[in-house]
Structure 1
Amino acid sequence: VQCFVDGSAKGWYNYLYGDNKAANDMIKKDNPDMTDEQIAFSIEQLKKFGVVDSGDSEKLGIGAMTDARIQSFYDKMVKAKVAQPGIDIKKAYTLAFINKGVGLELKK
C-alpha cells in the first residue's frame, strides 16, 4: 500500500511539474479528440484551482488528509442527514500511508 500511495503522489508531482509528454501522449492515444491545448489548459486549471496540490498538501504532500479535515466532512454529512451521528469515524480510516511529504522535492 505504501509503495502505491508514494508512487501515486510522485506521479502527480511529475505530471504537474515535470516532463509530462509521455503521459500526455497516452492520454491522446486513448482520447484521439484531445489536443495538446486542451491538456495544457486542464493542467493550468488543476494548478490554478489547487485541485491536486493546495492546502495541507503544500506541506504534507499530495494526498494529504488530516483528522480535522475528516471530522469536518463527517460533521457536514451529519448536518445534511447523510450520515448518522455518533459514529467513531477514526475506525474508518488511517493516515498511516500519507502526510509524509513524499514527492515534495519534485515540485518545481
Structure 2
Amino acid sequence: LLADYGYSPYATTLETTRPFAEQHPEQVRKFVAASIQGWQSYLEDPRPGNRLIRQDNPNMSEALLAYAHQALKDYGLLTSGDAATLGIGAMTHQRWQTYFQEMVALGIGAAGLEVRQAYTLDFLPGPTA
C-alpha cells in the first residue's frame, strides 16, 4: 500500500461544487450517508452489489469480484486508519493538514494555500477531529 511508504492522502473522496453544497446541504448529507451505508453493506454481503456490477459490466467475473471484496477486507481499505475508530467515510482536519504539508515539501503545493478551503467535514456523520 502507498500508505506503507508514508503517502497519506485519502484514497477516495466525494466531490461537489461549493455552491451546490451550500444550496443543497441536505441532499449532500444524504448522498454521503448513503455512500457510507453502501460500503458497509457491501463489506457485509457483496452479492447484491456484485449483481449490479455484473449487470452493467458482464465481463467482471465472479472470481474477480470475490477477489476484490476480499482485498477490501484483508487490506482494511475501508476500515483502517481513522475509519477504525471513526467509521467508514471518516476524515480529519489533521490528516488533511499532514497531506498538504507533504505536498508542499515535495514542491507540489504552495505553502500559502489555506488547506481548509479544499474540503469540508460538515457532511460527515458523527464526530470529526
What TM-score bracket applies, with the shorter chain setting the length? 0.7 to 0.9
Percentage of pairs with the same residue: 39
Unaligned runs of 5+ in 1: 102-108
Trace 1:45-60 onto structure 2 (pairs within 5 A): 45-60=71-86
**Structure number with higher relative contact order (C-alpha < 8 Å, ≥ 6 residues apart):** 1
Give the Cα separation in 1 of the matches to 2:118 and 2:50.
35
Q: TM-score, normalised by structure 2?
A: 0.71
Query: How far apart, CA to CA, are the structure 2 residues paired with 1:40 and 1:54?
Result: 20
User: How well do the aligned residues superpose, as a CA RMSD in angstroms?
Assistant: 1.5
**Corresponding residue for residue 3 of structure 1:** 30
- The whole-number CA distance in structure 1 between the counterparts of 2:87 and 2:64 is 26
Aligned residues: 100
SS in 1 for 2:95: helix
SS of equivalent residue, structure 2 residue 37: helix
Counterpart residue type for residue 112 of structure 2: G
Give 1:55 deviation, angstroms.
Answer: 1.2
Give CA-to-partner distance per residue, 1:30-79, whole Å, 9 cap, x none: 22222212111111101111212211112212111111100010001101
Corresponding letter in the other structure for 2:109: A
What are structure 2's unaligned runs of at least 5 residues?
Answer: 1-27
What corresponds to 2:39 in structure 1? Answer: 12
Equivalent residue of 1:73, what SS? helix
Q: 1: CA distance between counterparts of 2:117 and 2:29?
A: 19
